[in-house]
Amino acid sequence: MGNTSPRVLVSLLLNTLLCCGQTLVIDPVLTVEPNWSTFYVGEFVTFICDMNEGRNTDCQYRLLRNGQEFDRFQSDKRFRVGPLYTGDSGEFQCCRQWRVSPDENCSKTVPVTVSDKPRAKLAAGSTTIPIGGSVTLSCSVEPSAGWKYRWFRRTSDSSFVEFSRNNEENREITVTQGGIYKCDGERGNPSFYSHSSLENNIEIMFSNKVFVTRQPNWPLVFSGESITLTCEVQGGETTEWTCEWRRSGSIIQWTDSKDWTFNVSESSSGNYMCQCRSRDDWYSSTQWSETITVTVSSSSHLVLLISGPVVGFILIILLVLLCFCRRSKGLFCSRCKASESSRNDGVNQAGGHEYSSPLQEVTPTYAEINHQARANRKKKGSPAATDKTVYSGIRSGAALHVDSAM
C-alpha cells in the first residue's frame, strides 16, 4: 500500500462506510417469512437478507442453498420462492457484495424443510351421542404450526357444507347433530390448504337403545296374514324417523316412519332388525337394534293345525258318549233285573210257582193242559177221547207242543 495514493485510500474508505451504512465486518442476517421450519409442496416462502442499513443502492445480494447459488444477485434484499417442492429443502444463507469490490459477506445458514402435502387429522371424543347430547371434535396438522381450521358437515344431498372457519380458536368444536364431519387446515398467503383424509371422517350415531316390537305378537303367523313391525327408539318418541330394515343381514326395506306393515309369506321368516335416521338430518342415525324372530307357516300347516284340535275334540265327544251309553245300558239292565225280580216275587206269593224267565209266564203247565183236556171231553161227550190224548214236550221254560186226536 506504500504506492497507493492517499486519494485512492480515502475513496475506498468512503465507499466502505457508505455501503449500507455499515462496515464490511458486519455479516447480514437471514430471516424466513413465515417463520416456519417446515414447509409443504405448493407453499411459498420469503427469505430476507437483513442488513439494518438505511440505503442499499450500493450493495447487491444473492441467495445460496447448500453453498450453491439458488437465486442470482439482485438489489432487493427479499427473495420470494415458490411454489416449493421437496427438492428445495436445504441449508439457506444470503450474501451481500459491494458493487465496486469483489468481497462479500454471508449470513449464517438457516435450515428449511419441504415435505409432501399433509393431511389434517380429525378426532372425536366419542363416536356416539345421546339424543340431545353433544360431542367434541378436534382437527390438527402436525407437526407444523400456523394453521387455522375450517369445518364441514355433510347434508342430506350428500355434499359438504362449511359451517366454521378462519379462527385459531376452532381447532376444537362442539357439535350436537349427528352426521359426517371433516376439517381443512389453512395457512399462508396465498392460502394453502390441508384436507382431512376420508378415513378420518366421523359419523356420529345416537346411543339411545333401539328395539323391535310387533303386532300381533304371536309366536307363529301364517302366509297371507298381516303384521306390523315397529322400530322403537328410547327417548326419541318426538322425533320423526326414517327407518332401514334388515332380515337375516340383508337390507329389505326403507320406511318413512318407524312402523312397517306387510303381508307375510313363507319367505318372510327370519331375524329382523332396524336402524333409524332423523328425517331432517339424514346422517343422524341410531345404532342397530337387537333381532326379533318372525316365523311364518304355509295353507297346509294351517289346515293341520286346525284339524288336529277338531279331530281331538270329536274323539273326546265320542268317548264321552260311549261312556254315557255304557252307563245307561248298565242302568237299563239293572232296572230289567229289578222288574223281573218283582214279578217273580208276585207269582210266588199267589200260586207258589217260581219262574226263571219271562217266557214262563205264557207257558202252560201239565196240570193246566190236563184240566183243559178233561173239560173238552165232557163237552163233546166222548169218554174215549181220554185214551187218545197224547202229551209231549212239556218242559218248564220251553215251547209246548200238543197233539190231540179228535
Lowest mean pLDDT among 37-46, 273-282, 370-379, 393-402: 393-402
Q: Is the pLDDT of residue 230 over 90?
A: yes
Q: Are residues 143 and 223 in the same domain?
A: no
108 plus 162 within the same structural domain? no
Together in a domain, 98 and 181 = no
Q: Looking at the structure, tell me whether residues 125 and 183 fall in a common domain.
A: yes
Q: What is the pLDDT of residue 17?
A: 47
Q: Which of 59-68, 87-96, 301-310 has the lowest mean pLDDT?
A: 301-310
- Grid coordinates 190231540 are at which residue? 404
Q: How many helices (H) and strands (E) does the chain have?
A: 3, 31
Res 295 pLDDT > 50: yes
Instruction: Determine the Cα–Cα distance for residues 133 and 50; give it in Å rounded to an integer.
Output: 55
- Tell me what percent of the residues of the chain surpass a pLDDT of 70: 67
Same domain, 107 and 44: yes
User: Is residue 391 in a domain?
Assistant: yes
- Give the residue with greater pLDDT, 258 vs 393: 258
Q: Is the pLDDT of residue 81 over 50?
A: yes
- pLDDT at residue 104 in the model: 83
* 366: in domain: yes
Local confidence band at 233 (pLDDT 50, 70, 90 cut-offs): very high
Of 164, 185, 205, the position where a domain reaches its end is: 205
Q: Give the pLDDT score at 209.
A: 92
Rounded to whole angstroms, the Cα distance separating 50 from 27 reads: 9
Give me 127's grid cell.
Answer: 363416536
Is there a domain that residue 326 lies in? no
Residue 375 is assigned to a structural domain of this protein: yes
User: Per-residue pLDDT for 306 more than 80?
Assistant: no
Mean pLDDT along residues 90-94: 94
Q: What is the pLDDT of residues 157-170, one digit of tens each?
A: 667 888 876 556 67
Q: Are residues 196 and 213 in the same domain?
A: no
User: Does residue 378 have a pLDDT over 90?
Assistant: no
Assigned domain for 287 exists: yes
- For residue 349, tell me if it sits in a domain: no
Give the Cα separation of 274 and 253 in Å (integer): 10
CATH code of 69's domain? 2.60.40.10
Domain span at residue 250? 209-297
Q: Are residues 137 and 237 in the same domain?
A: no
Greater pLDDT, 275 or 198: 275
- For the chain, the average pLDDT equals 76
DSSP for 333-350? HHHHHHHHHHHHHHHHHH
User: Given 83, 115, 147, which residue is the final one in a domain?
Assistant: 115
Whether 277 and 201 map to the same domain: the answer is no
Residue 351 lies inside a defined structural domain of this protein: no
- Contacting residues for 202 by C-beta, under 8 A, at least 6 apart: 122, 124, 127, 137, 180, 181
In this prediction, residue 232 has a pLDDT band, given cuts at 50, 70 and 90, of very high
Question: Would you say residue 347 has pLDDT above 70?
Answer: no
Residues 146-156 have pLDDT tens digits of 888 888 887 66
200 and 226 both lie in a single domain: no
Which one has a higher pLDDT value, 364 or 204? 204
Tell me what the mean pLDDT of segment 309-329 comes to.
Answer: 83
Among the residue ranges 183-197, 217-231, 356-370, the one predicted with the least confidence is 356-370
Do both 273 and 229 map to the same domain? Answer: yes
Query: Is 182 a member of any domain?
Result: yes
Residues 191 and 239 in one domain: no
Residues 131 and 37 in one domain: no
Confidence of residue 278 (pLDDT cuts 50, 70, 90): confident
3-state secondary structure 2-48: CCCCHHHHHHHHHHHHHHHHCCCCCCCEEEEECCCCEEECCCCEEEE
pLDDT at 393: 47
Is the per-residue pLDDT at 384 higher than 60?
Answer: no
Query: By C-alpha distance, which of 344, 57, 380, 38 is closest to 188?
Result: 38
Residue range 359-371: average pLDDT?
53
> What residues have CB less than 8 Å from 140, skipping those under 6 apart?
120, 121, 123, 147, 171, 185
- What is the total count of domains within the chain? 4
Comparing 217 with 1, which gets the higher pLDDT?
A: 217
Domain boundary among 205, 220, 238: 205
Highest-pLDDT range among 6-20, 55-69, 320-334:
55-69
| Listed ranges 72-76, 133-137, 305-309; the one with the highest mean pLDDT | 133-137
Question: What's the pLDDT at 245?
Answer: 96
> What pLDDT is recorded for position 297?
86
Q: How confident is the model at residue 182 (pLDDT cuts 50, 70, 90)?
A: confident
Q: Is the pLDDT of residue 285 over 50?
A: yes
Residues 6+ apart with CB under 8 A from 22: 51, 52, 53
Instruction: Tell whether the model's pLDDT for residue 108 goes beyond 90.
Output: yes
Q: Is it the case that residue 305 has pLDDT exceeding 90?
A: no
